[in-house]
Structure 1
Amino acid sequence: MNAIELGPFVFATERFAFLLAAVTFFGSFHLLTLWHIAGVREDVRAWAFPAAMIWLLGARTGYVMQQWDVFSQHPLDIPKVWQGGVSVWTGFAGLAAFAILAYARRRAAVAPLLAAAFAGGLVNLGLLSLKETDETAALPTTAFPTMAGDFTQLNERDGAPLILNLWASWCPPCRREMPMMMDVANTIQGADLVFANQGETPAQVTDFLDTLGLGDRHLLLDPTSSLMARFDAVGLPTTLFFDASGTLQNVHFGEISRTELLSQIATIDTAASNLGDGDIPDSDQTGDPQ
């Protein structure tokens, strides 16, 4: 399960787990302070929001430090928390420091803070444990048209990993991530990054590319959105990561950050480099399942 649908809304599992953990934290903290008398209760509850912000700041700072080789080249990406990317343990380290301050200033806030954080952490881990990748979904043998009028088959890998981005021009997150992903597609080595437009005409795609000043070198057209159906993509954008054998290794739903994209590419590229030539199946063995 890589995404969760709630009516008309679709959330990536990681983002939904984060949001539900936050709701659990504030809800638990509220319940755990009900036994305080009125004046003390309001004072204790005032510590909840700063604690959450300290956790988020610590978690984001830890993640940025871990991925500094990427963020140092693109510092404007650091505040883009909505793209994902936190280090849970550095977040809890920041929260522990905040709890020490709370112990010195308002001791009554410490126990509900830590208990609520524990509850939120359990909810987050529980939802993330539900995420799984369907590795049985193989690349199709269908030939897809390119913007140049040619046709290409995604299952013909030639020993190179594939990153397949499903997108459409009407999708705001697709529009935001496309320039960055195109930049990566033009510079990476050892892997192919392909953008499969879902359900639009060549004229619509051309208008979009012209608006952003992007080329069409890495694009193909999927006018019937068959790839969304094949890989159970509940929304756009969806980015799928295949190893050199054409096996699906990971799925990222929603807008992806440069850091996460490069990290996933490095993971499958390293796996590919560790395989011998005899370990990579022929492309005609990765076709449609019967």
Structure 2
Amino acid sequence: MNGISIGPIAFDIERFAFVVAALIFMSVFHVMTIPQARRGIDLRRWAIPAALSWLVAARTGFVLQHWAVFLEHPLDMLKLWQGGISVGAGFLGLGVLTLFLLVRREAVVAPIMGAAFVGWLAGELVLRSQEQQAGAQTTLPETAFPHMAGEPVRLDERQGTPLVLNLWASWCPPCRREMPMMMDVADRIEGAELVFANQGETEQRIATFLKNLDEDGEHVSLDPTSSLMTRFNAMGLPTTLFFDASGTLRDAHFGEISRAELLSQIATLQSAAPQADADRASQPTNQGDF
């Protein structure tokens, strides 16, 4: 699963990599400026401005990449807890700051760039070292799940349509925050299906929650035993799983997801769908002997 846990605290792997990179940056910067600090030269005052220049530029780059989405929902630009940064844009912003410092002849450029490189390397190592947990499945189960709006549904019967599977519960604050946005996307999107699989709650409790949201159960399935969390080794809720048209897991997002990230992942699944269809069509079929 795309996450990591430390005791009772669970992180999305990308957020965890960001936290590690930030801590490494601060630590390395502190160590590299020890000689100047001993001589009474205060270079450490630039640590926070350097970190902020990277963060602001990284967030701005991500917003610009998904400008059409943020233009319709401008307040989403401020929802940093949902994630969404552009690493390249972040280093561009840091580069602008270092040019400014060079012009001022500040002797802090080397510590900033050295600490930034080590921080980036640490973040990359975290991302690359996180492998899929042992026992996790990558395909949808051949199981019929109860549905709030009708007959039980088989999630594995894709019929050439990608699937976004959201694992949620009404007691989960991030689930409640992201649900209206995700329901809106589910109602509008074409060429993909969104299913909200409730984990472990009764039909009555789910119905009450949906009524309070003024939503119907059109996209909601029930998983009373939380079997999907077990199957995909979900570390917590919400977890959003992205399956291609063949029903194979392609990506996973742990924690609250932004509209921009959700739409970007759906677009990736949709762009891969024609290739999946072509691969299936090219497979030989056993016609039998005549």
So what's the TM-score if we normalise by structure 2?
A: 0.91
Aligned-pair distance for 1:133? 5.4
Aligned-pair distance for 1:214? 2.0
Q: Find out whether 1:101 has 2:97 as its counterpart.
A: no
Aligned to 2:285: none
Distance in 2 between residues matched to 1:148 and 1:58, nearest whole Å: 45
Match runs of 1:9-28 below 5 Å: 9-28=9-28
Aligned-pair distance for 1:38? 4.6
| Aligned residue-pair number | 280
Give the SS at the match of 2:164: strand
Unaligned runs of 5+ in 1: 282-290
Call closer, same or farther: CA 1:277–1:104 in 2, change over 3 Å: closer
Distance in 1 between residues matched to 2:56 and 2:45, nearest whole Å: 18
Give the SS at the match of 2:78: coil
Aligned to 1:52: 51
Distance in 2 between residues matched to 1:32 and 1:23, nearest whole Å: 14
Aligned-pair distance for 1:104? 3.2
Contact map agreement 1:166 1:198 (CA 8 A) in 2: yes
Call closer, same or farther: CA 1:8–1:152 in 2, change over 3 Å: same
Aligned to 1:225: 226
After superposition, the C-alpha distances for 1:125-150 in whole angstroms (9 at most, x for unaligned) are 11111345589522111111112352
Distance in 2 between residues matched to 1:22 and 1:106, nearest whole Å: 25
Contact map agreement 2:33 2:44 (CA 8 A) in 1: yes
Contact map agreement 1:159 1:280 (CA 8 A) in 2: no
Match runs of 1:59-78 below 5 Å: 59-78=58-77
Give the SS at the match of 1:184: helix
Aligned to 2:209: 208
Aligned to 1:270: 271
Aligned to 2:128: 129
Q: Find out whether 1:32 has 2:32 as its counterpart.
A: yes
Match runs of 1:141-220 below 5 Å: 141-148=142-149, 150-220=151-221
Q: Which amino acid aligns with 1:210?
A: K
Distance in 1 between residues matched to 2:206 and 2:36, nearest whole Å: 60
Call closer, same or farther: CA 1:244–1:8 in 2, change over 3 Å: same
Distance in 1 between residues matched to 2:85 and 2:279, nearest whole Å: 38
Contact map agreement 1:133 1:248 (CA 8 A) in 2: no
Q: Which amino acid aligns with 2:151?
A: D
User: For structure 1, which segment, 146-155 or 59-68, has the greater mean C-alpha deviation from structure 2 after superposition?
Assistant: 146-155
Contact map agreement 2:30 2:44 (CA 8 A) in 1: yes
Contact map agreement 1:17 1:127 (CA 8 A) in 2: yes
Call closer, same or farther: CA 1:37–1:167 in 2, change over 3 Å: closer
User: For structure 1, which segment, 49-58 or 95-104, has the greater mean C-alpha deviation from structure 2 after superposition?
Assistant: 95-104
Give the SS at the match of 1:213: coil
Give the SS at the match of 1:166: strand
Call closer, same or farther: CA 1:88–1:253 in 2, change over 3 Å: same
Give the SS at the match of 2:107: helix
Aligned to 1:284: none
User: For structure 1, which segment, 94-103 or 18-27, has the greater mean C-alpha deviation from structure 2 after superposition?
Assistant: 94-103
Aligned to 1:286: none
